[in-house]
């Protein structure tokens, strides 16, 4: 894949992640539900990760730093789901 195409796709994914993050922040501000906050932080982390690591490390996504940041982002999503299920069971 040409370098320009790869850069364009990484940029598109980063912009999409940041847009979804803004969407979830909007819903968090109106509902104050932590579920939306965790999702917003997860997508914000993923979008910033794409931009920063592509800028410094290039298109090679085999490094462990990519996977550690993604693990944290997906961990936030799992924490949101667990937190939402626990809070709905309380009387």
Q: What is the pLDDT of residues 22-43, one digit of tens each?
A: 999 999 999 999 999 999 999 9
Q: Looking up tokens 């922040």, which residue turns up?
A: 25
Q: pTM of the predicted model, to two decimals?
A: 0.85
pLDDT of residue 89: 66
What was the pLDDT predicted at 90?
60
Contact between 72 and 45 under an 8 Å Cβ cutoff? The reply is: yes
d(CA 45, CA 39): 10
Write down the H helix ranges in the chain: 3-31, 34-57, 64-89
Give the number of residues written for the chain.
Answer: 91
39, 77 in Cβ contact below 8 A? yes
């Amino acid at each position: 894949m040409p370098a320009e195409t790869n850069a364009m796709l990484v940029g598109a994914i980063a912009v999409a992640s940041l847009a979804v993050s803004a969407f979830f922040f909007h819903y968090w501000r109106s509902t104050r539900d932590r579920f939306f906050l965790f999702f917003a932080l997860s997508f914000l982390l993923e979008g910033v990760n794409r931009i920063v690591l592509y800028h410094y490390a290039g298109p090679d996504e085999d490094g462990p730093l990519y996977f550690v940041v993604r693990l944290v982002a997906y961990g936030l999503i799992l924490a949101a789901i667990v937190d939402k299920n626990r809070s709905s069971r309380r009387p």
